[in-house]
Structures are given as C-alpha cells and as structure tokens.
Amino acid sequence: MIFFVKIIKVKGVLMVNRKDLENYIKNIPPAPDILKRTIEQVQKQELKKAGDIAKQDIILLKYMQNLINKPIYGFKNKITDITQIFTILGADLIYELLHHYLLSLLSPKKWHIFNLNESSFNELQANLSFYWGKVLEYEKIKDKEVLSAISLVPSAIIVCDELFQNSIQELDILSDSSIIDYEFLLYRLTKVHLKRLSIKIGKYWEYPKKSLDIIEASSKTTKITDSQTIRLGQWIHLILFYVLSKPIFINTNLNSFIKFDIDYIQPIYGDFENALGEYF
Amino acid sequence: MKPILRKRIATFYPQGFIDTTNAYFIITDDEIRKLIPKDIRMVLISLKRVVFFNINGITILLENMKKVQEQKKSLIIGFCDYNSMQYETIRRFYEKNIYFSLYTTFKIATLFTTPSVAQESILVWNENYEQRNLQSIELFERGYNPIVAHRKRDFLEHLKREGAYDDIVKDTYIGSIGTVPFARVSGSSIIYTLTGYLDASIDNQFDYAYHKKAIRTGFKLFIFDMKNIISMNVKVINFFERLILDLKEFEGTICVVNLKEVSTLEKIKIELENIGVQIFPTLDTLLNDKALLSDLGGIIKEDHTQGKTVTKELIHHLPSFINATVSTLEMMLGVTAVKAGKITIKNLEVDSKETQKLASSIGFYGDIEGIIILVFPFALAKKSCSMMIGEDINNLAEVLDSLAEFVNVIAGRVKTHLTDQDLGVSITLPRTYSSVDELLSTLSLNKGVQVDLNFNQEPFTFFLTI
C-alpha cells in the first residue's frame, strides 16, 4: 500500500484531492420534486396517489417498469402500469425502489473506471434490492427505513468512478502490481472514508437516519453500538460481495473496488444460506 | 479479472464467492493469452477475500490455470492466502491427487520463487514427511536456512521461540512431486489402489506408460488393492487381460486383493481367475506370507536396453541430476559433499566388501529416459533417512522403506529441474536393494556415468544409466 503513495508522489500529481471531493458533493443535484412528492405519498401509504404523481415523470416511470420486470423479481407477465406496480409491490418496497431511482440519477452517462452501463447498473441495483429483501424477510424486519439503506450502497461506486475518471492511466499502472482498493486509495488521498461520502449523499437527500446508520455499519466501525444495526450492516457487506461475485459483475472491475472483510461478516455468514434459501 | 504481477508470480484476487457460475470469468481466455508471454514462475489464486468456494468452481479455476501451464511447462499453479479450513477443504476435494501447489500466504509462495537475501531462518512443518523434506530442500536450494520440525509437538515447541524464525511454512503443499498417486511400492512389488466405479473408464485412471516402465525397471509383482472400489463391470476383464499379456514375457504376476464379497462380483471374480489374475482376500494375507511373496515376485532381469549406453542428451542434463541429489543429501546431512575421483562413463563399480551398502534405483521416462542409482553405506543411508523422517531408524527394513521415499524426493526434484528446461518426464516408483549384489542381479546395468562423492568421509555413489 505504501507503493500507491510512492507512485502518486513520484508523478507529482495527486489523483484526487479534497477539493475535487468537495466540488463533487457541492454539485450533487437535489432530489426531483415529483420524486419527493411520490415518496411523501408512499410514506402515508397512499399508493394510488403516489402512482399518479410518479406518472408525471416519464424517466421515473420507465425506470420502475424496467427494474420491476428484471428476471430476478420473477414476474411472469410484464407489468407496465405504474399504479399496478405500486399496488403489487407495496409501500415498503416502493419506498426502497424510489430511492434506487434517486441514486440512479447520480450515475454517470458514461462509466470510466468500472465496466458498467445503464442496464448493468440497474441490474446491480435490482440484485442488491432482491437479496436485501430476502435477508430482511429472514430477519423478520418490515421497516421501509431499513429497506431503503441498500439503495445507498451503489453511491460509493458512482463516486469512485466520477472522482477517479481522470486517473485511468495511473490506476492501470498501479493495478499491474497491487490490488486497487478504492476505499483505501480515497482515504489516503483525501482522509475521507468512502462510506462517509455515501452517508453525506444520503443526508443531502434526506435518507432516514436508520438507513444512514446501517451504511455506517456496513464495514467495521466504532460509531455504531446498536447490535441490530451492526448485524444489518454486516448483511449489507456480505450481500454486496455476493452480488459482485455474479458472472455479470466479475469483469466490471467492481469485484475489487473495496476490500471484502471476511472477519466482519463471520457472525452472520452461518445464516446466509438459510436467508437466501433457494436463491443461494 | 486482471492478475497482479509481483515477484514472478501472477496472482488473481477474486472476492466473495467462487462457484461454477462465475469461475470462468475469473481467469478468462484473454487473461490466459496475456499471461503466456510473461516472465512468471507461478499463477496463483488468492483466497484471502473468498468466503465460499465449491469443488466445481475450484476445478474450473485449475483447468484455466492449466491452460497457461501447458504453454509454460515449468509453471507452478495453485492457491495462496487461505485459512486452515480452506486448506483442509481443498485437500479433501482432491485427496491424493493434488497436482497443484498450496501456499499459506503470497509471501510464503515467494520463498519458493525468489532467492534468499540473508539466509533467513524458515521453520517448516508438514505432517507428510515427503512434503516437509521437499519444501525444506527447495528453500535450502534458494539460500534459506530451513529448520524442519519432524513432529507436531516439536513444531509447537519451535513456535514458542518468539522471533526465532523469519517465516513459518505450514499448511503448504508442493504439487507435482512426480509420483503416481495411486501407486506405492512394497519390497519388490507395486501396489495400485484404484477408486470409485470400475468400468471401461479404467483406461483413463491407469497410467500405462508408468506401468510399463515399472516392469522394465525390474518390478514383477503388481497388486491391485480394490478396497476403494464401489463396484465394477465386466469391462475390467479386458483391462486385466491386457496387463497379463504385457507381463507374459517378464514372467510377472497380477494379484487382486480386497475384492468385495458380493454376488454381483462373483462372475467377474471367476473370469479374472480364468485369465490368470490371482485373488487374495486382503493385502496382508499376501504381504505377510513371505514364501508366497517370493514365489510371486522373483527377481527378473531388465533387458530392454541391453548394449546401450548413456546418451549425449542424458550427459547434457547430468548437472541437473547431480545438483538435485547432492543438495538433497547436503540438506539432510548438514555436510558438504566432496567429490572423490573423476566423473567417468563405466560399468557400476562399488567396493562393498568392507561395509554393508544399500542401493536404490528409480526410473524416468518421457522426453529423456534413464535410471538413477544411488549407493549408500548403511550408516549414511540410516542417517539420511532418520533425518528425513525425524525419528531414529534402526533396522534394515525401515531404512530400505525410507530410502525409497528419499530417492523419490530426489527424483521429484530432478523432474522439476528438467521441466524448467522444457523436458517432460514421469518417474517410476523407487526400488531399494539391501546389497549391491542384489542391485546388480536385479538390473542388467549398462555402462553409465558414475560420480563418487564423500559426505563426512562416508562414500556415496551416484550412477546414471539407461
């Protein structure tokens, strides 16, 4: 790891600095008004009203149709009507999916560091959402504030791609001789943890505190002491690597974007097969 | 997935889960193509960040690593950065057929690819003495100072000495020593242990080239131990018929032991007896009956190379043979070899009148062919074998048994040296002799290269022939 710093210094240019980071945060767009209003109605369990508002945003409509018809959700017939989508999925899952949509607004048009595109990014979101749902079912948790936590996970991937997009050459040299751990790299360069960036984005978009705490607990932390939040954080960590091990993501470069901490997930790993059941 | 290239090792670092669905994407054909021209000694998969793998996933990874190995003959393939449970799991997956290497960490793997800088002390422990000795010899040859623990309790004692070692090599396995995994030697007989269900596929499980070389090396009695056979069909009759035919001119015998007493096998049993296979209830019934053993496994003469002498090519590779032998003995005995006399091509000449001498032979075949013969004074053989096993050996039978393993280690190392020079060879099981007379009467030796050495005033003879 000292090697990283050496190379960066030899080249005389920092790949990413604190200022880049601050600029990036400053330029995060606010949540669209239609989306905010839809979320408000979902929180009130007014799914029909929520559907009617959502219909006004054609991109949101397309996003929801596309996501829900992915094979992982297993619907036999294509569902296109937004009201039907909202009714079938229920308030909790819709609340989570609306947050996935919010995150997708941040995703780049063209990916630079990770071999992703709009479709594979949506696939990633769908996979995370699906397995998170299975885990919460297993843990008997029905809380939309917990459900929405998973939607913040890809924000770290988006941030990395944006911040490091001008350093592809340097990263390529580094990747010949070291595993690139973007979390470590970002911290060495800016003293900011990747998950703190996700939390910052979450706060800006008014994610519930529970979601932000779970993200904080998605890797080893001393800031969270509540055992259930830590357990959920461990699940998020494991699900992320389970999904990133899928063939579609192996060669996206995502498999190494952060370090998989096997020790951290040990307390829940024994339950993993049971939690996923036939989907393991 | 892109591998990391460090210290002539290409390491892949998958994270998470490895199974049939994703293993093909970890080492892609494109990466295989890119690796072939690289100056690398090993291709490894790090399991540091892998929480789950299954046998199918691991097999796919190995198959893809083998594609690189096929183009770079001396390349070592395997795994590193695993925990004890992962180590045991992989060993259980492949049982005795581990053709790849296992290194606890990447750093431990580098000990086997890079020379020592300051004669670092390395503590070596492995339950299998052949492995622990092979590992220590490999380290010794690279300039390290290996300290071998021969018992688990010794190893644990060594561990208490904090800071005494620069590194500890344990739960490590060096693959491709070169032995045929299903065969072992007992006296002058070879015991083959087959597994699973025996049908026409036995041809894939059995190494005919090895078997034929073993016949030519002087083995006469071949015992098939069927204890691991679940069942079999009549196709095995053809297999045994072929073996009987091959042995006919050498007056050899095929025996089958531990055949299950079930009605479905009764017909096959009768057929086997009809074609000349001898059947015994257990291995012990046969091995413990010395008179019977003697009747079945008399001494035969090797005659396939009559009149031939060592080839130029064999002489060209002589340093590989000598280095492997000398460094192994130096490592075991802790003394330096001193050359005694000139290296000459002649018939084997050993003075065995005053001291009892033991001998051992091992054949190799493939791109080049030949037989290595080592002649030890009893005391030197006893000392070397005691050092290898880590226990005092007293009687002749024990020394001969261990000597076979010892020669096997040397032959395995010769194989590695030759592979480095792009020569593919397989080795037969070693054979031991309680005297030089027994050696000479068993093998009709041609002229060969004789190298006489002294280890602490103890004479030792290396002889290479075809």
ipTM attached to this prediction: 0.86
- Minimum distance, in Å, between the CA of residue A178 and any CA atom of chain B: 6
List chain A residues with CB under 8 Å of B49.
259-260, 262
Please give the model's pTM, rounded to 2 decimal places: 0.70
What is the average pLDDT value for chain A, to the nearest integer? Answer: 88
Instruction: Say what the pLDDT of residue B65 is.
Output: 95
Q: Which residue of B has its CA nearest to A273?
A: B52
Instruction: Say what the pLDDT of residue B180 is.
Output: 46
Instruction: Say what the pLDDT of residue B151 is.
Output: 84
- Say whether residue B152 is in contact with chain A using an 8 A CB cutoff: no
- φ, ψ of residue B355 to 5 degrees: the values are -120, 150
Tell me the count of A-B CB pairs closer than 8 A: 57
Encoding tokens for residue A37? Answer: 């209003």
Q: Which amino acid is at A90?
A: G
* B391: DSSP letter: S
Find the helix or strand (DSSP H, E) in which B134 lies: helix B129-141
Band (pLDDT 50/70/90 cuts) for residue B436 is confident
Contact between residue B380 and residue B455 where contact means Cβ atoms under 8 Å apart? yes
List chain A residues with CB under 8 Å of B5.
176-177
List chain B residues with CB under 8 Å of A242.
16-17
Residue indicated by tokens 């190893």: B155
Instruction: Say what the pLDDT of residue B182 is.
Output: 63
List chain A residues with CB under 8 Å of B51.
238, 241, 260, 262, 265, 269
Interface test with A, best of B22, B38, B48, B85 (most A CBs within 10 A): B22
Instruction: Say what the pLDDT of residue B176 is.
Output: 57
Rounded to whole angstroms, what are the CA distances from B405 to B225, B326, B384, B432? 20, 16, 11, 10
Sign of CA dihedral A241, A260, A115, A124: positive
Q: Facing residues of B12 across strands?
A: B45
| Contact yes or no for B51 and A265 at CB 8 A | yes
Please name which of B67, B8, B76 lies closest in space to residue B415, comparing C-alpha atoms.
B76
Q: Which residue of B has its CA nearest to A261?
A: B49
pLDDT at B216 over 50: yes
- φ, ψ of residue B335 to 5 degrees: the values are -130, 160
pLDDT at B185 over 70: no
| Contact yes or no for B26 and A256 at CB 8 A | no
Given B4, B17, B18, which is nearest A177 (Cβ)?
B4
Encoding tokens for residue A212? Answer: 């932000």
> How far out from the chain centre does Cα A77 lie?
28
Given A176, A255, A262, which is nearest B51 (Cβ)?
A262
- Minimum distance, in Å, between the CA of residue B78 and any CA atom of chain A: 19
* DSSP reduced 3-state for B431: strand
The full set of domains in chain B, from first to last, is 4-169 (3.30.750.24), 183-296 (3.30.750.24), 312-465 (3.40.1550.10)
Find the helix or strand (DSSP H, E) in which B394 lies: none
Contact between residue B6 and residue B40 where contact means Cβ atoms under 8 Å apart? no
Contact between residue B275 and residue B269 where contact means Cβ atoms under 8 Å apart? no
Band (pLDDT 50/70/90 cuts) for residue B11 is very high
Interior CA angle at B15 toward B9 and B17, to 5°?
120
Contact between residue A272 and residue A244 where contact means Cβ atoms under 8 Å apart? no
| Contact yes or no for B16 and A244 at CB 8 A | yes
Sign of CA dihedral B334, B339, B340, B345: positive
Find the helix or strand (DSSP H, E) in which B158 lies: helix B152-160
Instruction: Say what the pLDDT of residue B302 is.
Output: 40
Digit-coded pLDDT (tens) for A9-62: 434 455 788 888 888 888 999 999 999 999 999 999 999 999 999 999 999 999
Find the helix or strand (DSSP H, E) in which B463 lies: strand B458-465
Number of residues that make up chain A: 280
The full DSSP string for chain A is: -HHHHHHHHHHTS-SS-HHHHHHHHHTPPPPPHHHHHHHHHHHTT-HHHHHHHHTT-HHHHHHHHHHHTSGGG--SS----HHHHHHHHHHHHHHHHHHHHHHHTTS-SS-SSS---HHHHHHHHHHHHHHHHHHHHHTT---HHHHGGGGGHHHHHHHHHHHHGGGHHHHHHHHHHS---HHHHHHHHHS--HHHHHHHHHHHTT--HHHHHHHHTTS--SS---HHHHHHHHHHHHHHHHHHTSHHHHTTTGGGSS---HHHHHHHHTTHHHHHGGG-
pLDDT at A248 over 60: yes
pLDDT at B97 over 50: yes
| Contact yes or no for B13 and A179 at CB 8 A | yes
List chain A residues with CB under 8 Å of B80.
none
Q: Which strand ranges, in their side-by-side order, compose the sheet holding B145-148?
A: B145-148, B121-124, B167-169
d(CA A214, CA A209): 9
List chain B residues with CB under 8 Å of A175.
2, 4
pLDDT at A102 over 90: yes
* DSSP reduced 3-state for B188: coil
Digit-coded pLDDT (tens) for B297-336: 644 334 444 445 667 788 888 888 888 888 888 877 777 8
d(CA B249, CA B79): 46
- Say whether residue B5 is in contact with chain A using an 8 A CB cutoff: yes
Q: Which amino acid is at A58?
A: I
Strand pairing class (B145-148; B221-232):
unpaired
Contact between residue B407 and residue B372 where contact means Cβ atoms under 8 Å apart? yes
Band (pLDDT 50/70/90 cuts) for residue B198 is confident
Interior CA angle at B333 toward B329 and B338, to 5°?
65
Instruction: Say what the pLDDT of residue A13 is.
Output: 52
Rounded to whole angstroms, what are the CA distances from B260 to B199, B238, B281, B282, B288? 16, 20, 9, 10, 20
Please name which of B284, B204, B218 lies closest in space to residue B251, comparing C-alpha atoms.
B218
Interior CA angle at A18 toward A17 and A24, to 5°?
100
Instruction: Say what the pLDDT of residue A202 is.
Output: 94
Given A179, A242, A245, which is nearest B4 (Cβ)?
A179
| Contact yes or no for B1 and A245 at CB 8 A | no
Highest mean pLDDT among A73-77, B39-43, B212-216: B39-43
